[in-house]
Amino acid sequence: MSLQADNIVKTFNGFTALKGVSITIAKGEFMALLGPSGSGKTTLLRILAGLESQDSGEIRFDEEDVSTRSLRDRKVGFVFQHYALFRHMTVAENVAFGLKVRPKETRPSPTDIQRRVTALLHLVQLEHMGQRYPNQLSGGQRQRVALARALAIEPSVLLLDEPFGALDAKVRKELRRWLRRLHDEMQLTSVFVTHDQEEALELADRVAVMSEGKIEQVGTPDEVYHRPQTAFVYEFMGNVNRFDCRIQEGQARVGPLLVAAPEFPGARDMAGLAYVRPHDITLRAPDEPGLPAVIRHVFTAGPGIRVELQRRDTKSQVEADLPHDASRQLLLTPGTEVSLTFSGARVFSAE
Amino acid sequence: MNVETAIEKPVTNAVSTLVRAAAPRPVGAARTEPVWAQRLLIAVAVGFILIMLILPLASVFVEAFADGIGHYLSAIAEPDARSAIGMTLLVAAIAVPMNLIFGLAAAWAIAKFEFRGKSLLITLIDLPFSVSPVISGLIYVLLYGAHGWFGPFLAAHGIKIIFTVTGLVLATMFVTFPFIARELIPLMQEQGTDEEEAAVSLGASGLQTFFRVTLPNVAWGLLFGVLLCNARAMGEFGAVSVVSGHIRGLTNTMPLHVEILYNEYDFVGAFAVASLLALLALVTLVGKSVLEWRMGRDGSRGH
């Protein structure tokens, strides 16, 4: 089923959580809503599910307006951030709940329910946990019970609120790959909320980056990471250096460096901000042309080297990520004078 | 100057003795009181409970059986006593379920919804705790009595409240209504609305959500509240005394009957009926302990 939100506005006690958000999620797509806390991503998810109602705007499932349809009638699978398992029911009873509450005409027989619960527990690899209570399970197991329970009603849409937020790093990685496989096998349309950009980039077909109640950019992980459309997306998608610059007819000047700014062909001495990722900074010998700086600290950061530098002119900090073999060509010790150049940069207007 | 030093000296001396006495003690032992202090505290506590609680309770039974078990049984079987027991059971049987419904509704509203005046409602629920029961009874007389605000209206329609069972039930409900709500509000607030939302998202109706999710989650707390509410409803004296009119065999409850018998110097009768109330207290106490144990166990099972 395809999902569509059209110009959704939502206000809570005078605070505008969503300022006219529109998004289309194609059938079979795995979409991430990514943003910092307070960006409105969870509110949007809850409105899609019918857990909240929007002040204005429309929600459509397969072109059909469901704005007035209640949570109960939208029949989406919803996985809550803290799982919301029924604490007085066993795992099997939790999974069976959605089937047992159906009206008599559509309710499967007890043996049918039993069979489907067994199949679902097998699917989430918890076959032997059926008689346990939620508090006897680990976080990762609870998460899988919550998934099995949501899938029991055979939804075509799965909505997940920070599905891996409360899990430790290792379990999180395993579980998200497993979830991705599950999504593909069951041909679901899924939307999940996260504040972790790595998670969004790894898991989703497309990512919607949100900030302050608006969608900043929607695109494939590659697009939002490599071609951010706004300064916010650039900053949110990873470490970045900011340089004040002046833009003049499609070029921005950072100290002695010239950076391409094709978005501003007619600009005349406009204030701008140049964003440069740490891995797009090259260190050269001090006599070569570039931005003069001094090395302050050198760290080994996983596969590469992270260098903290200070600009000679403005005294501001710059971070650079270098490959391991960079130290062979240059003396990387604190106090060394270097010259910086950029292999990639993006200029935004500061006005 | 002389006066000042005279006052100051003993004070500083006392302080320095205290400091000196405390100083040589090892850090680890700082929290352990000396053995004699522990024993003294325990003795005070036990002595207090013995004199203030156990002794009076025991005396109730001793007095009740003072003339032998035959007198005891006939005192309870006496028609006025039997009607008082029946009246108490009737009042509790109406007031407790009413407060169960009210308590659940109030706790539900407060814990699961946001609305204006919520804190005012919470304060109002506590009102019967802070008002003297006699005043609670008087309020009803002022409202529904023959010369009260609604007196003429009620009289015109042939409805009698004061000096009837209706009055007893109303006064009892007023006095006991915080018990169940108070027990449920923190429990429901702590549980939040996640499980209800999950139930509805899985297709459950409002009633299914209530009976399959909300109610089982608060069941032990609810029973606990009912138990306390019932104990108070059966034992209430002040409010009931004002609205009852003490009509023997008609509007007399057990606590009121005890007082009447006592004032008539029928000590065996008074203590025999009182012993039933004392028994109720003991049963409540045991029930309370069992429920606390169950809730504690469920609590450790919770998230």
Residues 6+ apart with CB under 8 A from B30: none
Q: Which residues of B touch A87 (CB under 8 A)?
A: 195, 217, 301-303
Enclosing domain of residue B289 = 68-294
- Residue B298 pLDDT class (50, 70, 90 cuts): low
Q: Is residue B225 part of a domain?
A: yes
CATH no. for residue B93? 1.10.3720.10
- Residue B236 pLDDT class (50, 70, 90 cuts): confident
* Residue contact B303–A49, C-beta within 8 A: no
Q: Is residue B299 part of a domain?
A: no
ipTM for this prediction: 0.80
Q: Which residues of A touch B212 (CB under 8 A)?
A: 86, 97, 101
B161 against B185, higher pLDDT: B185
Average pLDDT over residues B4-22: 41
Q: Is residue B40 part of a domain?
A: no
Residues 6+ apart with CB under 8 A from B43: none
- The confidence score (pLDDT) of residue B297 equals 63
- The confidence score (pLDDT) of residue B24 equals 47
Per-residue pLDDT of chain A (351 residues; tens, 9 = 90+): 899 999 999 999 888 999 999 999 999 999 999 999 989 999 999 999 999 999 999 999 998 888 888 888 888 999 998 899 999 999 999 999 999 999 988 899 999 999 999 999 998 889 899 999 999 999 889 999 999 999 999 898 999 999 888 788 888 888 888 889 889 988 899 999 999 888 899 899 999 999 999 999 999 999 998 888 888 999 888 888 999 999 988 889 888 888 888 888 888 888 999 999 998 998 888 888 889 999 999 888 777 888 999 998 888 999 998 887 776 667 788 888 999 999 888 898 887
When scoring A66, A87, A104, A132 by the number of chain B Cβ atoms within 10 A, the one with the most, hence best to mutate, is A87
Residue of chain A minimizing CA distance to B213? A86
Angle between helices B178-191 and B79-112 (to 10 degrees): 30
Alpha-carbon torsion angle A114, A116, A122, A124, nearest 10: -120
* Residue contact B197–A153, C-beta within 8 A: no
Q: Which residue in A70, A98, A133 is closest to B301 by CB distance? A: A133
Q: Which residues of A touch B200 (CB under 8 A)?
A: 70-72
- Residue B11 pLDDT class (50, 70, 90 cuts): very low
- The confidence score (pLDDT) of residue A1 equals 86
When scoring B201, B294, B297, B298 by the number of chain A Cβ atoms within 10 A, the one with the most, hence best to mutate, is B201
Q: Is residue B301 part of a domain?
A: no
Helix segments in chain A, DSSP class H: 41-49, 71-74, 91-100, 110-123, 139-151, 169-186, 197-203, 221-226, 231-236, 326-329
* Residue contact B212–A97, C-beta within 8 A: yes
Q: Is residue B57 part of a domain?
A: no
Q: Is residue B47 part of a domain?
A: no
* Residue contact A82–B194, C-beta within 8 A: yes
Residues in A whose CB is inside 8 Å of some CB of B read: 49-51, 70-72, 75-78, 80, 82, 84-88, 97-98, 101-102, 133-135, 149-150, 152-153
Is residue B194 less than 8 Å (CB to CB) from chain A?
yes
Do B197 and A84 form a contact (C-beta atoms < 8 A)?
yes
Is residue B31 less than 8 Å (CB to CB) from chain A?
no
**Smallest Cα distance from B114 to chain A, Å:** 11
**Cα–Cα distance for residue pair A119/A115, rounded to 1 Å:** 6
* Residue contact B212–A98, C-beta within 8 A: no
Residue of chain B minimizing CA distance to A132? B301
Q: Is residue B51 part of a domain?
A: no
Out of A37-46, B8-17, B261-270, least confident range: B8-17
Q: Which residue in B198, B200, B301 is closest to A135 by CB distance? A: B301
* Residue contact A101–B302, C-beta within 8 A: no
**Smallest Cα distance from A74 to chain B, Å:** 8
Exposed / middle / buried, residue B27 (Cβ in 10 Å: 0-12, 13-18, 19+): exposed
- Residue B287 pLDDT class (50, 70, 90 cuts): confident
Q: Which residues of B touch A80 (CB under 8 A)?
A: 194, 197-198
pLDDT above 60 for B22: no
pLDDT above 80 for B9: no
Angle between helices B165-176 and B118-130 (to 10 degrees): 120
- Residue B72 pLDDT class (50, 70, 90 cuts): confident
A53, two tokens? 């109602």
pLDDT above 50 for B8: no
Q: How many domains does chain B have?
A: 1
pLDDT above 80 for B300: no
* Residue contact B302–A87, C-beta within 8 A: yes
Q: Is residue B217 part of a domain?
A: yes
- The confidence score (pLDDT) of residue B30 equals 53
Structure pTM? 0.76
Q: pLDDT tens-digit profile of B30-46? A: 567 788 888 999 999 99
Do A133 and B301 form a contact (C-beta atoms < 8 A)?
yes
Do A326 and A332 form a contact (C-beta atoms < 8 A)?
yes
